Amino acid sequence: MTSDVLKRVAALPEKSTDELKEMWQNLCQSSAPPYNRTYLIRGLAYRIQELAWGGLSETTKAKLEAQAAEEKTMDRTPNPIRNDGLPVAGTRLVREWKGVEHSCTVLDDGFEYQGRKFKSLSAAARAVTGTRWNGKIFWLGGKK
């Protein structure tokens, strides 16, 4: 039985999309979803194994449903990365330079370093080093 299941799953990628959709109809008792071949193959592989060896236990289903319900009620915080690839306002960037720790705070309209406001991370990096730096590389990591 195991070898039959494995053979059926292994044969899925060789089937045409129409054959996969027909298999979906037969195995899942519903029309195939309008997704790509990869989705159909993965779904059919799961269904073939589920029919052969059984699906999820009731305990596992209950745990997954509880986790999904909890996920829906969780507080969602905004992504801490802005569209320009910089951290959101309020983030404190810390960098060690020549044995001294320096910190720069991200503002809505610039950056603050040692109480001074800068328009760019590069300007704040120059205040630290005295030389021109790519600000993202200096404050967010990488090498010059």
Q: Write out pLDDT tens, residues 117-134.
A: 999 999 999 999 999 999
Q: Give a yes or no: residue 69 inside a domain.
A: no
- What integer pLDDT is reported at residue 124 of this predicted model? 96
Residue 144 or residue 30, greater confidence: 30
Q: Give a yes or no: residue 15 inside a domain.
A: yes
Give the contacts of 40 (CB within 8 A, at least 6 positions apart).
Answer: 17, 20, 21, 24, 32, 33
59 secondary structure, DSSP code: H
Range of the domain at 124: 92-140
Domains contained in the chain, number: 2
What is the residue-wise DSSP string for 104-116? Answer: EEEETTEEEETTE
Residue 79 or residue 38, greater confidence: 38
- What integer pLDDT is reported at residue 2 of this predicted model? 81
Q: Give a yes or no: residue 26 inside a domain.
A: yes
Q: Give a yes or no: residue 6 inside a domain.
A: yes
Element (H, E) at 102: strand 100-107
Q: Give a yes or no: residue 79 inside a domain.
A: no
The pTM assigned to this predicted structure is 0.48
Instruction: Tell me the pLDDT tens digit for each residue of 65-102.
Output: 999 888 877 766 666 666 677 888 899 999 999 999 99
Q: Give a yes or no: residue 126 inside a domain.
A: yes
Query: Phi/psi of residue 16, each to 5°?
Result: -75, 165
